[in-house]
Structures are given as structure tokens and as C-alpha cells.
Amino acid sequence: MRIEQLRNAPDRAGRYWVTFSDGTRRGRVLVFLADGSLLKVTEQELLTFGLRSGDELDEETLTRLKEAAGVSNIKTTAADLVGRRAMSRQDLEKKLQEKGASETEARYAGEWLEAIGALDDGAYAAALVRHCGDMGYGPRRAREKLREKGVPQELWDEALDELPPEPSYMAVQKLVDEFKVSGADLIVACGGGSVMDAAKLASVLVTDAYGVKELLDNPGMAQKCVPIVLIPTTAGTGSEVTPFAVITDETTGVKYPLADYELLPKMAIVDADMMMSAPKGLTSASGIDALTHALEAYASMLATDFTDGLAKQAAQLIFEYLPACYDNGQNEPVAREKMGNAATMAGMAFANAFLGVCHSMAHKLGAFHHLPHGIANALLIELVIRYNSAEVPTKMGTFPQYAYPHTKRRYAEFGEFLGFKGANDDETVENLIRNIHALKERVGIKNTIRDYGVDEEKFLATLDEMSEQAFDDQCTGANPRYPLISEIKEMYLKAYYGE
């Protein structure tokens, strides 16, 4: 076998292949055909082994590369462990072996985390779990099934594998450019929220009429150019049924949420089989994200009878089934199905009622300090419930559909539906907050921003800018209480230090 790199066409640049003895080629970066299976190795691992275009593969190197290709799930587990508690590489490798990894797999995973600088950075490692989960078991199975049916997937095999955890201008533009030369007429995106957001953005950008930045400046020009089918592999974002997408300006780190019904997919397929292998960190973060969607949709000034029912039922399913998914998700198909349903129902609720200041703040916290979106929401939602429950707010929301503040009663209704009823509204809201906190602890969510390794000096240096950008976020408009920038800043500080 010989490694070959193709550079003849723009859409082939940088792709490595293995040429087999029968002259066939397989691969995205580097692929081995063994016992009828496809094993993939990243370009970084290729370079780690000192291999270049034209090199012959001996049996020893082939064996080592096969081992490297087989540790992707171990890497996700490793990132999850480090994201929860700082540990040395030796301790990490020992923990991985206790979880069933071989000595070789544990060593590769430890070397990988150390090489990319995540071993000493819990927040970075926690973010990696989200990325690894998005690229995991579900998408691979979907691709295999499409291959069996003879559907060409040249574009998405490479493009989505290289997508960063937060879609950026350049990443989305690359998808658009590759789609244009692919000759495809449909986008099928299988992955987490970031993958689905990238596909939604690409679906309105496959045009010469405008680009990413022009669309951000004038969202009203968006037009659906190609139909999309979305298949979530996480139970949290609800992106498969919403007219929203978030994109990050990689030059400034600012996240921009886009809202336009042109972003809606043609079809959403919610299949628990695609979610079975999600790691614990991803399961907990995405589950609390879905709960936050339900809570904010219910409290929104634009809530209706239709969205209320979806939001409350979604929350009930999350409280009942998220712990089982977290504890033993690979062996809990019913719980995974219920969580998938809950996330999609919560998505349908906020697609029509919109969200609030918790998501505004979470967007900026994630952009500035690289916390996973679900974790950012989890750290803020209790503070936001208390903030919105004020019966005499400094300023009411713009154009409310009610004569006087009634958000405390709304949260109390939510709590009563979930079985948290107290002697009065105040007690019921406190019961709701206490049970949310208990659920977060049950699924491994830490208490403060500081607990996730965000440096205090850096946090305080960015606090004012984060608060201003959160105020300007599109989600702020539907919040039942009109926030002052100083009030947003105060909530950030409470979330960092602990109230």
C-alpha cells in the first residue's frame, strides 16, 4: 500500500489516500480497508507517524495506525474525565484502563490531550467532549447506511469531520464552496447543534447573491437555496426544528444568532439510535440546554397555549429520563428516545415563543470563555428565574402581551405541573429552582463559572463587553423583564463566584 496526496483540483487539496494493491483508493484523510471495515486516521496522526505522500506502509506502521484509528471513543472519554477533574496524564491513563481501554489506547488518548494542551485545561477538555460527540457514532452509522444505498457523500464525509465545535464564517463558507462543486441537490446533516446550524446556514448561502457577512448585516435577504434534512445525535439543541442558527466570527470570537424561517429544514429525523453513544458530559450539558429552552419559552412574552404545552411536557420528560441517560445511556434506549423527543419538543416551543436573557448571556459566555453552550445555560438559568420573577422589575419587557408582570406566576405554573407545588407562588418557584439545581448536580454540572477553569482576571477583563453584547443579543427581546446592562453584569458575577 502507498500513501498518495491529491492536489490536482481545489476540492481535493490536502486529502490523503491509501492506494491498495488492486489500484483502488479509499479515504478522507487516511483510510484502511480491513475485514470489510473502514478505519480513519486524522491528518495530525498521519504527521505524528512521520508519514508523507509517496511513503510505503510496512506492517508495523499499519498496525500502529489501526490502533490510533480505534481510539476515537477513548479520546472522548478522556476529554470527559479531564473536563470534570484535573489529573495527571498517568492518572488519566489509569482511569481509562479501569474503564476498559487497552494500555495502547489509553496512552494514545493521554498523548493526544497533552499534545493539544487540553490536559491542564478542564474547560477546553469539556468543550472537546461536545465536539467529539458531534462527530461520533451516529454520523458514522448514517454514512455507512447511505453508502450501502449508493448515495455519494464526497462533500460531507470531509467537510463535517473538519467542522469546529462552534461554526465560524470560514467553516460555513468552506461547506458552501464545496457544495457548489459537488453537484449535490440535497443536504443531509447528521450531528449535534453546531453541525445542524452549519447545514442550515449553508442552505441559504449556496448563492452568489450574498455571503455570510452580508447575510449577518441584512438577515432579511435570506432565501432557501437547497433543501436540508437534519438528524440530531444529541438531545438538547432542538436545532432540527428551529428557524435559528448561531455562527461565530473567528476574528473577534463574537457569536451571532440568526433568526429566519428560511433556515427551517425540510425534514427532521429524531432517532434514538443516533444518540446512544453520546458521552456523559455531552448528555448532561445538552439535556440541561433543552430544559432551559423549555423554561425560557414558557416565560417568554411571546408564549402561547401551543408553546406552553410543548414546553411543560418537554421539561417533565427531562426530569424523568435525563438521569438514566447520564448514568447508562448506551443501555437505555427508552430514556434516550424520551430525551430526543423532549429536546425536539422544547425546540418546537422556542421556535415559536423564542427565548430570553439566559440564552443571551450563555451565547456570550461561550464565545468569550469557550464554555459549551449547555454548560453556560446551566450556570445561569437559576439566576435568571429569580431575576425574571421580580414582581416590580426596574423595567418591563418591550410590548408585553399582559397588563402587569406575571412571570412569577408563570414559573409557579411550570413548577406545579412538574409536581413541585408549594404553599404559595414564592415557595413553588423556590421548589422549582431547588429541583433544577438537584438535577444539575445529579448529572455532574458544576456550580460556578470559576469551577470550569475560567481565569478570574480574564473573566473580569471581559465582563463589561460580555454584558453589553448579551444585552444586544437577539434573544433578549422576548425576555419578560427588560434587563439593564448593570443587571446582566451582576448575574454574570453571581454565576462566576456563586451566589
Pick from 111-125, 198-212, 347-361: least confident: 111-125
Contacts of 150 (CB under 8 A, 6+ apart): none
pLDDT beyond 60 at 30: no
Supply the pLDDT for residue 461: 94
> pLDDT higher for 55 or 87?
87
> pLDDT higher for 2 or 146?
146
Q: Which three cell numbers stand for residue 59?
A: 506492517
pTM, to two decimals? 0.69
Long-range contacts of 90-99 (CB under 8 A, 24+ apart): 92/119
Please answer whether residues 193 and 236 qualify as being in contact, where contact means their C-beta atoms are separated by less than 8 angstroms: yes
Structure letter (DSSP) for residue 445: -
pLDDT beyond 70 at 132: no
pLDDT beyond 60 at 312: yes
Please answer whether residues 351 and 259 qualify as being in contact, where contact means their C-beta atoms are separated by less than 8 angstroms: no
* Cα within 13 Å of Cα(353), Cβ side: 29
Q: Which three cell numbers stand for residue 192?
A: 449535534
Supply the pLDDT for residue 67: 57
Q: Which three cell numbers stand for residue 115?
A: 499534545
pLDDT beyond 70 at 437: yes
pLDDT tens-digit readout, 79-91 = 667 666 667 778 8
Supply the pLDDT for residue 38: 33
pLDDT beyond 80 at 409: yes
Burial class (CB within 10 angstroms; exposed 0-12, middle 13-18, buried 19+) of 111:
middle
Separation of CA 267 from chain center: 20
pLDDT over 90 for what percent of the chain? 37
> pLDDT higher for 196 or 379?
379
Helices 357-369, 456-472: crossing angle, 10 deg rounding = 140
d(CA 288, CA 124) in angstroms, rounded, equals 19
Supply the pLDDT for residue 235: 92
Q: Give the pLDDT band (50/70/90) at residue 13.
A: very low
pLDDT over 70 for what percent of the chain? 66
Q: Classify strands 267-268 and 228-232 as parallel, antiparallel or unpaired.
A: parallel
Mean pLDDT along residues 54-73: 56
Q: Give the pLDDT band (50/70/90) at residue 438.
A: very high
Mean pLDDT along residues 266-272: 91
Q: Hey, which of 273-282, 314-323, 465-474 has the most confident mean pLDDT?
A: 314-323
pLDDT beyond 90 at 487: yes
Supply the pLDDT for residue 251: 67
Mean pLDDT along residues 407-431: 95
User: Which residues on neighbouring strands pair with residue 16, listed in sequence order?
Assistant: 5
> pLDDT higher for 213 or 233?
233
Q: Which three cell numbers stand for residue 100?
A: 476498559
Q: Give the pLDDT band (50/70/90) at residue 134.
A: very low
Mean pLDDT along residues 150-161: 48
User: What is the average pLDDT score of the chain?
Assistant: 77
- φ, ψ for residue 86 (rounded to 5)? -65, 140
Q: Give the pLDDT band (50/70/90) at residue 138.
A: very low
Supply the pLDDT for residue 141: 53
Supply the pLDDT for residue 488: 96
Pick from 39-53, 348-362, 399-413: least confident: 39-53
Burial 203-232 (b: 16+ CB within 10 A, else e): bbbbbeebebeebeeebeebebbbebbbbb
